[in-house]
Structure 1
């Protein structure tokens, strides 16, 4: 399949960077589109763009944080627009992150979650109107975001800074919170256990290193990303990507802060 993916790395109008990115994906030829887990929640609209100037939104979904790759069958002339919410802020979409972990809200459930905020987007016609209505919806929901509990905020920040290598015991000591309580805070905030979230971040760091033009040997990648050995790297690639390091599927690597690899 062929597709085109673009994103705006940050949405400056969103309060406290609640929205990490606005993105668009255009399907050029049909096939299977692989979405890697990233520990975030997304608001996504699927559009029919077969007739220029008459584009319309077909469906809207709230996608929860995933712990595994998703393979989506797509058709030519489909166009997706989305807002990726920073970890911990997805609840502003009207659903608890734990409810949609490894799942999604669709159809009437989205209407219940978003209410009348959804109407302008569904009534929009043409790409300029759809983009404007979608951005307005994403920002309106971002303005409803509640502040994270301080232990969860610090833990999520440090997990990103270390690209998933900091231990929960160290985070518990840093925040002055029992490890069990901290695990609960993080899971409530993003929908995934902190160990799974850390594994996803470590996997994304490894993918960035392996995708570089002058990628090092896999054993060196494993060491740089905190894996115990190359076999550990291979297992995590199979878990989060569905492929081995030597036979990677073409995928989109979304923007996220990962220590010195922040992009």
Structure 2
């Protein structure tokens, strides 16, 4: 039996992963912000599902929750940093409070979950860390700047940490899902106080309206692919879920590379040339 620690299991990928992991006979320590959530899982899996109350913006609580979980179960094989949400609105439309909260949740919260787990995984001789990001960690769209800021940021953090901890047998995987039929779009997403001046950037409102068409991603299949990735050795640094997400990511990366290649002479012009 493997033991998993997953943040944000009340909905979305966290909930679907938890259900599949418990069904296959593993243990899950799952965090929620509301005690009334996941009562069905507590009833169905009283011996293998351990619900913990946690708001990842509370850094001391993050440290204590992760520490207590490792100390209780001795070994945690997989830590999934999943808690997060979307915030839509142009930069000028966002409030300071909205900016601070999404940074504290999606970026700082994820960083602290991982940092809290590292000393225990190092001492136990390995483990796997999975960070749920988004193809929005590679591709940016208007009216989503702060969400992209958190995802670009956590991807840079994880790519660096992956290199630091590989020597200890700790694998790191960044998951980049495309649009999926979860509460992320159709329930938990936050929208700023929109301004008429930016109306041309508000196409995302159609994306958040299920009556205008649903996202193509199947959360059940996506959760299964994430769980399966734990068996891969070495750990894949990134996995993209969804054909549209992969297409958009490749196109954006190719555009970026092409632009960089035009700058060869400019880059070299700033070098010190030894005589």
Return the TM-score normalized by structure 1: 0.24
Larger proportion of strand = 1
Rg larger in 1 or in 2? 2
Return the TM-score normalized by structure 2: 0.23
Larger proportion of helix = 2
